[in-house]
A and B are shown apart, each in its own frame.
Chain A
């Protein structure tokens, strides 16, 4: 009989913590041994590895569940945000009775976004320099889980601190953090001897506004009228003003603006703020 595995039989565990609110996840590798050897007078097909073997992990998670307050599990209550630093993580994906393990994963991008009518969610992509798949691994059963109570439930549980928002309505925002990684490979090994947390970290914040009096800058504003902004986005606990997650960046550079209008929509402006953070 053909069976199938549905969401109730799937779970993601990272460093022993069960990640809840996962909307989608994908893990994949492309074997570096997939290229055939080619030579003059070729008379057979032989394969050999070329390049370092890595894998990728992508996770899309609702921010309804965060780490329990009061535990010293990192500077942020979002477990994935804590890996934007230089620490790797390991984990396991359970699907049915099978497990897929990974070790030495490093976050490469971390993003948070929300729009009107949506629940805030985070999207992360990670590169795995260690092992991936099946094999002999420690039993990483879920030792704990993120707080099972619903903490951040919708777009009305947030505060955005930016001048324009007093008179213009934000319809959506996104925060994207790119954390570069530099693996160091030596001869004689197929795993890196170290992974350097690259610098600077690039942060992009995008806002979509339904505008009232927002004024688009002249595109030749650099350098005479270069615009820097401080931005703070705070996600509060449900039905409370208790802040749970905060994304705050100073001196972000306005890098792009776009205007859009349609016969069936309000005038809208999209603009991007960017900053770079040195580790």
Chain B
């Protein structure tokens, strides 16, 4: 029976010999087989609909930002590990990862990753993958079925290892100005990373021979309370390392996100009723 309740639909990501089940709150999978009609002189109707490209799919999911794993001696989750690895990779040829939800499996390339941190709130993340398929491997396979949980634990526990705005200070993102001397309070930050992949197709084969990682761009939008009007024509790039912490990480290291050569590209302020004026600045880094 294909009726699957959410408790049997965990999102699992695996790469090589590592895999992690994420605390996903939603997940969607799409598979497309593009086709286009062909017309010819002498025929009123179409000759038919013909494939316009290789079958491809995508998958996106939102999840609670967790710091439960350790990858390459760095705390974090597997998505953050993949994002860090891809954007800093020296090898252009990319390798996908296997993603599974409720029996549907795809072999995907991370094309976007984002998270947000706000005061007194649980941090949430999202990720999306593109499924190109490979060789004779279909982009998406499997059928819907509910995956049996491990023995459910009914014990009340604190959710340690979940990134929380209460324990994350984002100190490196604070704006400081010299006159008057002030340091901003940071109310929250939104981070996003988008990556481009280029599949290489050859004649005689539907799915790509290989896939290359090409470029990546990441941005951080910070909400604080200082408006820095001294934005330069050519801002000096700077390296920023964010450390996300949660319950259980107090006094210990959290998940690190290194942003290299980030340039501030904008600053703004918003005023609304019954609130203080909040300012935003956006930092952008490219790879």
Contact = CB atoms under 8 A, between A and B. Distances in A.
B158 A48 contact: yes
Contacts of B154: 44-45
Interface stretch (A71-79, A187-195, A223-231, A256-264): A187-195
Interface string B25-53: 11100000000000000000000000000
A41 interface: yes
B7 A43 contact: yes
Nearest to A50: B122
Contacts of B21: 41
B96 interface: no
Given A40-B25, A40-B26, A48-B162, A186 B185 contact: yes
B64 A37 contact: yes
A171 B121 CA distance: 49
Contacts of A50: 120-122
A222 interface: no
Contacts of B162: 37, 48
Contacts of A33: 158
Nearest to A193: B185
Interface string A34-78: 000111111111111111100000000000000000000000000
Contact of A42 (B7, B61, B169, B171): B7
Given A39-B24, A41-B24, A193-B185, A187 B117 contact: yes
B150 interface: yes
B129 to A, nearest CB: 16
Interface residues of B, number: 53
Contacts of A184: 185, 187, 276
Contacts of B270: none
A198 B186 CA distance: 21
Interface string B94-127: 0000000100000000000000011111100000
B11 A40 contact: yes
A46 B168 CA distance: 20
B63 interface: yes
B170 interface: yes
A129 B85 CA distance: 42
Contacts of A180: 274
A68 B213 CA distance: 78
Contact of B11 (A41, A45, A52, A182): A41
Nearest to B189: A187
A48 B164 contact: yes
A187 B169 contact: yes
Contacts of B167: 188
B164 A49 contact: yes
Contacts of B117: 187
Interface string A81-114: 0000000000000000000000000000000000
B13 interface: no
A196 interface: yes
A193 B187 CA distance: 11
B276 A51 contact: no
B158 A47 contact: yes
Interface in A163-203: 180, 182, 184-190, 193, 196, 198
Nearest to A196: B276
A33 B101 CA distance: 29
Contacts of A46: 156-159
B165 interface: yes
Contacts of B64: 37, 39
Given A48-B122, A50-B122, A43 B164 contact: no
A41 B25 contact: no
Contacts of B9: 40-41
Nearest to B273: A198
A47 B158 CA distance: 5
Given A40-B101, A47-B158, A187 B186 contact: yes
12 contacts: A37-B64, A37-B159, A41-B7, A41-B24, A43-B7, A43-B150, A43-B153, A48-B164, A48-B247, A187-B189, A188-B168, A196-B276
Interface of B: 6-11, 21-27, 61, 63-64, 101, 117-122, 147, 149-159, 162, 164-171, 185-189, 247, 274-276
Interface of A: 32-33, 37-52, 180, 182, 184-190, 193, 196, 198
The 7 lowest CB-CB distance pairs between A and B, nearest first, are A41-B10, A188-B169, A44-B153, A46-B159, A48-B159, A185-B119, A43-B149
Given A49-B164, A49-B166, 6 more contacts: A37-B159, A43-B153, A44-B154, A52-B119, A185-B120, A186-B185
